[in-house]
Structure 1
Amino acid sequence: MGAVPQSVVVAAWFCDQSADHSFLCMSIKQFAVDAERRPRTGWRILGYFVCWFALYGGVLYLVAGPEPTVVRNVIAHLVVVGAGVGVTAMFRCFVDRRRWRDIGLVAPDRRQLAFIAAGFAAGVTVVGLWFAVQLALGSAKVTGFELTERGVVGTTGVLAVGFLYYATSATTEEMAFRGYIFQNLRERLPMTWAVGLTGLLFASGHFIGGSAGPLHFAIGLLDFVLFSSLMILTRLRTGALWMAISFHAAWNWAQDYLFGVGVAGEDDYHNALVHVRLDGPSLLVGGPHNADTDLLTILLEVMLIIGYCWYTRARRPAEARS
């Protein structure tokens, strides 16, 4: 037989390359894109996570600066909330192509306002209980009061500004973690996996930039996962994020601005209403970088989850009968 023409050889080579190229493209598509031609869940969450952290840190640094004044700090926190809503809405509408209301952030009605009040009261009460136990055990010592240094007007101003800080940060974090991230995981994974992964991502955000020993790291990890699980539970039972936002804000505000239970072994958080020094065992009062890395907090969170589950289940039959 005669030799195969060179043109046929070249054409066959291009066909083989095109087939390989098409297979590669299809493989990449299957790895990166779902059946609706959206980025797969992991890529959407990764993209959102990176954008959220860049936005949060970037706005606070650029607007507030390394040594912020009170006014600049307030403006920065308000800008963060607005920008966070914008980024979340952009991802939800154009990347996820899903409804905004599904992440649990909707205009609060009278029922949700009641949940906001309940969340705030619960957050302050739990931190107050933590503080009372530490006082009873001798692990916390009151060293002074902000009222004696600033007076009523000055102290009220500090408490109000502090609550604004934590209300804005709680709104941003709940919208990001228990809103956007949890909703995406919930749509793709079993509930247990969605809750656990949301908690781990929430914990990773709080451990970035800090350090702790292995034991306190493990306790802190468990703490943030439990806290996140509690916030998800309130969202699922109330149908919105508002109770989670108010509880989260009240928890942090009470820790830092009411009772001053900051870092173990150091003076209290700068302008707390009650000046406190924690001198107990680190497993009881928290580690060197976060007061939440203690066993008492873990116990309180477990009790909260069990108690809230029991309370909401007990109310359902009564509501069904009414």
Structure 2
Amino acid sequence: MRAYRISVALAALAVWAAIYASELWLPIEAIDGGLNGIILRAGAAAAFLLILAGIMGWRDLGLTPPRPWTSLWVFLPPSIPLLVMGWLLVQHGLPEPQILRTLAACMLAVGVSEELMFRGVLFRALRTRLSPWPAVWITSLLFGSVHLSNGLYLGDLAIGVAHVAAATVIGLFLLAATLRTGSILPSMLFHGCWNTLVMAFLVSAPPSEWQTTLEAETSLSLLLLLAPLFLYSLFLLRGVDRPLAAAPGVQTT
């Protein structure tokens, strides 16, 4: 089955998208019920991937603790913008506690599902046939491209393109972190935390200010995050052609 792994992974991507892809950016008046729906869809998509991985015998997805634990230092520099965003959110005003809890659960489910699909199933499949760098770029660009729907849903192509660029770079970092730690689990958590903070800004803003909030968030991402994070990701990926940290059971190719 190794010879067909990329084909199976691409088919899995299509099925995953069919289960998962829907209105991720919901009108504020539908946020509570809408978020519960996203949790179900993201959870179902992740469950599909786990079942498929079990059937196919894919044991190299990184669903194990980091090895060594000290490798988690790779998340320290990118955590600074998270702390800044958290502080700004507190100053701006937090959403209602019930909505915030549901939002955090939703974004964690999204992080788990997307990491499992892209940094897990897709990247490991590409590595069976491609050398590391092509697999890294294809995975990151495909991850970024699925975020074009954010802007298209809002009717603003510029925001969509900006989100593609941001998601591509963030995906590049998450892949580098997964390789360095030998585990996909910390990337799932970081992904969920990042999305929670970004979405909390949107939820806490009145609907009339959504466009302004999105444009501000996009500008902040481009100016303060993308360039440093891109360079940092390349730093982490240095020597990617050599075996990096791998958790027990992770197969290297």
State the TM-score, normalizing by the size of structure 1: 0.56
Which one-letter code corresponds to 2:181 in the other structure? T
- Contact 2:45/2:113 (<8 A) preserved: yes
Q: 2:241 — aligned with what? A: none
User: Does the 8 Å contact 2:172/2:230 carry over to 1?
Assistant: no
1:209 and 1:166, CA in 2 relative to 1: closer, same or farther beyond 3 A?
closer
Task: Assess if the C-alpha contact under 8 Å between 2:9 and 2:122 holds in 1.
Answer: yes
How do residues 68-217 of structure 1 correspond to structure 2 at under 5 angstroms?
68=30, 70=32, 73-74=35-36, 76-94=37-55, 97-99=56-58, 101-106=59-64, 108=65, 115=72, 119=75, 125-129=80-84, 145-146=92-93, 155-208=96-149, 210-211=151-152, 217=161
Does 1:232 find its partner at 2:191?
A: no
Map 1:303-314 onto structure 2 (within 5 A). Answer: 303-305=231-233
Give, in whole Å, the separation in 1 of the partners of 2:83 and 2:2: 50
Distance 1:192 1:226, change over 3 A: same
Measure, in 2, the Cα distance between the counterparts of 1:85 and 1:279. 33
Which residues of 2 match residues 6-85 of structure 1 at below 5 A?
Answer: 36=1, 39=4, 41=6, 43-57=7-21, 68=30, 70=32, 73-74=35-36, 76-85=37-46
With a CA cutoff of 8 Å and minimum separation of 6, indicate the structure with the bigger relative contact order: 2
CA distance in 1, matches of 2:217, 2:96: 26
The Cα RMSD (Å) is 4.3
Letter in 1 for 2:174: M
Partner of 1:249 in structure 2?
A: 192
Cα 1:190–1:118, aligned 2, differ >3 Å: closer, same or farther? closer
Identity of aligned residues (%): 21
Q: How many residues align?
A: 230
**Of the candidates 207, 218, 242, which is equivalent to residue 286 of structure 1?**
218
- Change in CA separation of 1:179 and 1:167 when aligned onto 2, cut-off 3 Å: same
Gaps spanning 5+ residues in structure 1: where? 1-35, 136-141, 148-153, 261-268, 311-315, 317-322
Q: Equivalent residue for 1:299?
A: 227
SS state of the match for residue 151, structure 2?
coil
Distance of 2:212 and 2:48 partners within structure 1? 42
Alpha carbons of 1:88 and 1:279: their partners in 2 closer, same or farther (altered >3 Å)?
closer
Within 2, Cα distance between the matches of 1:128 and 1:93? 37
